[in-house]
Amino acid sequence: MLDLYLPIAEVSVSAPLLVVLGAVVGFISGLFGIGGGFLMTPVLVFLGIPPAVAVASEANHVAASSTSGVISYTRRRAVDFKMGAVLAAGGAVGAIVGVEIFRWLLLLGQADLVVSLSYLVFLGVIGGLMLVESVQAIVRRRSGQTTGPRRDRRPVWLYGLPLKVRFPRSRLYISVIPPIALGIFVGVLSAIMGVGGGFILVPAMVYILRMPAAVVVGTSLFQIIITTSLASLLQAGRNQTVDIVLATLLLIGGVIGAQFGARASARFRAEELRALLAIIVLAVGINMGIGLFLTPEEPFVQISGAG
């Protein structure tokens, strides 16, 4: 049959299902410039794959679909490599710190709680804010109002900080401190939540760094490749939790889906895309978080890290 036994996850799963899942998440990844880990990791856990293996192997899938997507954006000159590198440098530091925090939480037995809370809080807040903003933008446009001049009132602190660097592709001249801090923050979260962090980076680049919308998605994908490749390597090297068969099945679908996603993104308006992403982000956040408030059917849970 088409079921495959995964050598590291040590469970048997349907291979076509994984390819299709990879393709769907890859499409979303290419469309929005997010890794898609926040969607895929919960699904893999639901399929019975041990969470540690799901998180580590998913990083590999995200690296693949982001590579597939980023090349399309590069051709459209829609990647700010300099900004991406700065974000990724912060992300690498954050990921290393985050992996240590995660190990500590695992030992405490509170990893589940922190993961669920992180999903609820970050996805809820970001999804909510993005939904409100994008719906307002859509309503403004539909009601015939001119969108008005782009709000170029950048926060003072962006200009007040030292170590200013020019980012020509983004038409920015700002301190490197905010992007590095953002990278670190996203890196920590990505290690804890098992995600690439695109869902935080995309809105942060738009609303905090005020980067032009055209380069946001490509730049986000570029920085995701670097951090997820590093995360995947660290997970394999330290924890032996990357399942190469699982990752390969997911990325076969993922790289193809990402191509269609990247193409489709040109056909939508930016605010419509953001509204759609906001809804997905909110739904996943609520879904992950709601379990914290419902009386569990089974009061006992097995947690990894024994022995």
Q: Does 300 bind other proteins (CB under 8 A)?
A: yes
How far apart are CB 236 and other proteins at their closest, in Å?
A: 3
How far apart are CB 106 and other proteins at their closest, in Å?
A: 9
**Residue 49, SS3 per DSSP:** coil
| Per-residue contact string for residues 278-297; x = within reach of other proteins by CB under 8 A | -------------xxxxxx-
How far apart are CB 220 and other proteins at their closest, in Å?
A: 15
Number of residues in contact with other proteins under rule CB under 8 A: 68
> Exposure pattern of 85-97 as b/e (b: 16+ CB <10 Å)?
ebbbbbbbebbbe
Q: Does 256 bind other proteins (CB under 8 A)?
A: yes
Q: How far apart are CA 233 and CA 169, in angstroms?
A: 30
Supply 68's token pair.
């597939």
Q: Does 76 bind other proteins (CB under 8 A)?
A: no
How far apart are CB 67 and other proteins at their closest, in Å?
A: 3
Q: How far apart are CA 70 and CA 262, in angstroms?
A: 8
Q: Which is nearer to other proteins, 184 or 255 (CB)?
A: 255
One-letter amino acid of 145: Q
297 CB-near residues (< 8 Å, 6+ apart):
none
**Which residue reads 């440098």 in tokens?**
89
Q: Does 235 bind other proteins (CB under 8 A)?
A: yes
Q: How far apart are CA 185 and CA 163, in angstroms?
A: 19
- CA distances, 88 to each of 24, 124, 183, 231 (Å): 26, 24, 6, 12
Q: Does 266 bind other proteins (CB under 8 A)?
A: no
Q: State which of residues 85, 138, 270, 303 lies at the interface with other proteins (CB under 8 A).
A: 303
Question: Which backbone phi and psi does 27 adopt, to 5 degrees?
Answer: -60, -50
Q: Does 55 bind other proteins (CB under 8 A)?
A: no
Q: Which is nearer to other proteins, 42 or 179 (CB)?
A: 42
- Interface residue list for other proteins (CB under 8 A): 1, 3-5, 7-8, 10-12, 48, 60-61, 63-72, 75, 103-104, 107-110, 112-113, 225, 229, 232-238, 240, 242, 244-245, 247-248, 251-252, 255-256, 258-259, 291-296, 298-307
